[in-house]
Amino acid sequence: MRTTPQATPEVTPAALREWTHHVESVLRGLAHALNNRAAALSAVIELSRDPDDDPAATREILQGEMDRVAELVRVVRGIGVPRAEVEAFSPGDLADDLRSLLSLHADLRDLSVRVDAADAPPVRVERWMLLRALLALAATSTPPPGERTVSLTVSGEGDWVVARAHGPQSGYMGELARAMGGELLPDRAGFRVPTLESLRRLEGR
């Protein structure tokens, strides 16, 4: 177990192709969502011109649409140029951004996604690495037979934070996991990275 995650990794061509596929899939969903937002904002403008319009109700609708646009901006940042900075944080802090990304992913269009990371202990990694590793894990997973929900769980197990889903392993995810000082799970789709507490213990802190 390394106490310091390696610098931004040089991923293999196969892993890069996988990440490019995820980006393109999210961008397709993003384009569709932006078209919906543009249509909704046009409808709000038309509504505001109606002499019988309720200004308070129109402002409420407009605020809702602006909140959705702000969420889409967060999605773009999530797949943009990463900020290379190791930091300590809770994996649960990534849950909302991860759900937003997965909700737009074309490969998951006909599925629902459940993310459970509320009880995961803190880690010390580059935030973008963990977010993208979780995205790749969920996006390449499959629902159990007879179900239409992809479930991703992130929890603490001893000295590790463990991310699990159902289905095949992701090569891109594996390379990021190793770059964060972690490893793939041998038994099912997923990976694990050291907890912040275990790293501090190794460092004698």
What is the pLDDT at residue 1?
58
pTM for the model stands at 0.83
Encoding tokens for residue 8? 């931004």
CA 153 → CA 64, 135, 201, distances in Å?
29, 12, 25
What is the pLDDT at residue 3?
53
Tens digits of residue pLDDT in 145-172:
888 998 999 999 999 999 999 877 888 9
- Where helices occur in the chain by DSSP H, the ranges are 13-48, 55-78, 95-104, 127-139, 171-179, 196-202
Burial 37-47 (b: 16+ CB within 10 A, else e): beebbeebeee
Measured CA to CA, the distance from residue 98 to residue 135 in angstroms comes to 7
DSSP summary character for residue 7: S
User: Domain residues of the chain, as ranges?
Assistant: 1-205
DSSP summary character for residue 39: H
Measured CA to CA, the distance from residue 52 to residue 63 in angstroms comes to 20
Q: For all residues of the chain together, what is the average pLDDT?
A: 86
Which helix (H) or strand (E) element contains residue 153? strand 149-157
Tens digits of residue pLDDT in 6-62:
556 778 999 999 999 999 999 888 888 888 888 888 887 877 777 777 788 778 888
CATH number for the domain running over 1-205: 3.30.565
What is the pLDDT at residue 200?
93
Percentage of the residues of the chain whose pLDDT score is greater than 70: 95
Q: At 8, phi and psi to the nearest 5?
A: -45, 120
Judged against a pLDDT cut of 90, whether residue 71 lies above it is answered with no
